[in-house]
Structure 1
């Protein structure tokens, strides 16, 4: 089931594919749907991708492919749905038109430096970080500036921007943002060991940290990195 905004967006994308052979840019989609930011477009696209309506072609920007449409799909020039929470059904997949590559950048929230003494929620400072869309998969994302050298052997350095997909679950061996005792946020490898949770650094100079499961809350998984060269 789709919301009215998701329904409106997929029709707009399909219309552009039929007219030009390429999907619209994030800026064009933002304006067409009267949204305030590109991050809203990203959330809609992620939701449509998770529900199997569209897909992003790997290693190609502005590469959206419609693989099925809402049941009552009409030309995008028709009237928009009246309410943002209206739901519509789906029908069998329609033939998709492959778009041509271009470049798109989206903005995600930048919550500040990941450091001891502050939960992720307390780090938010209303900034955003422009990120190439190709670096992000489905889901809701935010960015953190890395502080320290505890993950350098994983290629994560002080001053890097960690791109984090919001989730409260993770598999052993994944790099996560872990909130410890509701007060210290840290970026580490997650492992479950003999009924405990072990947070492993990627630096032989540091030791692993072991906690009871109730002491650790996963707040996201590493999805990518950005690095600035000065």
Structure 2
């Protein structure tokens, strides 16, 4: 069973595709559902996709396609189609529903994170507009990179690291590691028994080794956004 907002969004997308032949933009969906930011729309679309009601085609900039409708809405659609149908032989197949690209979403920008010596993170609550194609499923936030210890991984001072929230990571992934619940850093993650090693991507810096109980994973790198002034 869908939540009221999920049902409302699915109906809006379906009606727009039926009427105009194109999917609504994130901005149009936000306004239709009276939400404050497009991040709420992103979460609703993820939920609908996970439950099989819509899908986003790869390499199509987040193109949307309605796969199925809730039972009540589907019955109403079929009844309306029968009433409106002319006295003619049924079509062998219906044309495919056109799919349109959507634009950007807003994710929380939580301040600066060190790519060198750990510094305090999560210090702000601004929003950052991000191309939806850079993000996958799950909840995301952004951190501004401070330092150059990850430069050999292509992560430079002033970049915006796009982070997928998670508390677990595999060896070799780039993560946001929170140390002693006070300071955070962006590093390669390695687990060695009861110890955690955080590796830089710059030969000028040394690895940081901590007891595992002093380190918590706050997310893993999902993408990178760079501005050129």
* Greater share of residues in helix: 2
RMSD (Å), alpha carbons: 2.0
TM-score (normalised: structure 2): 0.83
Aligned to 1:61: 61
Q: Distance in 2 between matches of 1:146 and 1:174?
A: 17
Q: Which runs of 5+ in 2 are unaligned?
A: 78-94
TM-score calculated relative to the size of structure 1? 0.83
Report the CA distance shift for 1:96/1:43 in structure 2 as closer, same or farther (over 3 A).
farther
The secondary structure found in structure 2 opposite 1:47 is helix
Task: Give secondary structure in 1 for the equivalent of 2:217.
Answer: strand
> How many residues in Structure 1 have an aligned counterpart in Structure 2?
208
Q: CA contact under 8 A between 2:64 and 2:100: conserved in structure 1?
A: no
Q: What does the per-residue CA deviation read over 1:84-130, in whole Å, with 9 as the maximum and x for residues that have no partner? A: xxxxxxxxxxx9734034x511111111111434243xx12x31111
Report the secondary structure of 1:118's partner residue.
Answer: coil
After the TM superposition, which residues 1-230 of structure 1 pair with which residues of structure 2 at under 5 Å, given as runs?
Answer: 1-61=1-61, 63-73=63-73, 97-101=97-101, 103-115=102-114, 116-120=118-122, 123-124=123-124, 126-230=125-229
| C-alpha distance in structure 2 between counterparts of 1:212 and 1:55, whole Å | 43
Cα distance in 2 between the residues matched to 1:175 and 1:71? 43
Separation in 2, partners of 1:69, 1:60: 23
Residues 117, 228 of structure 1: CA spacing in aligned structure 2 closer, same or farther, 3 A cutoff?
closer
In structure 1, how many angstroms separate the alpha carbons of the residues matched to 2:135 and 2:53?
Answer: 18
- CA separation in 2, counterparts of 1:196 and 1:47? 36
SS in 1 for 2:71: coil
- Cα distance in 1 for residues equivalent to 2:24 and 2:62: 7
The verdict on how the C-alpha distance between 1:30 and 1:148 changes in structure 2, with shifts beyond 3 A counting, is: same
CA distance in 2, matches of 1:117, 1:61: 35
C-alpha distance in 2 between matches for 1:206 and 1:219 = 22
Q: Does the 8 Å contact 1:178/1:219 carry over to 2?
A: yes
Q: Does the residue aligned with 1:72 lie in a helix, a strand or coil? A: helix
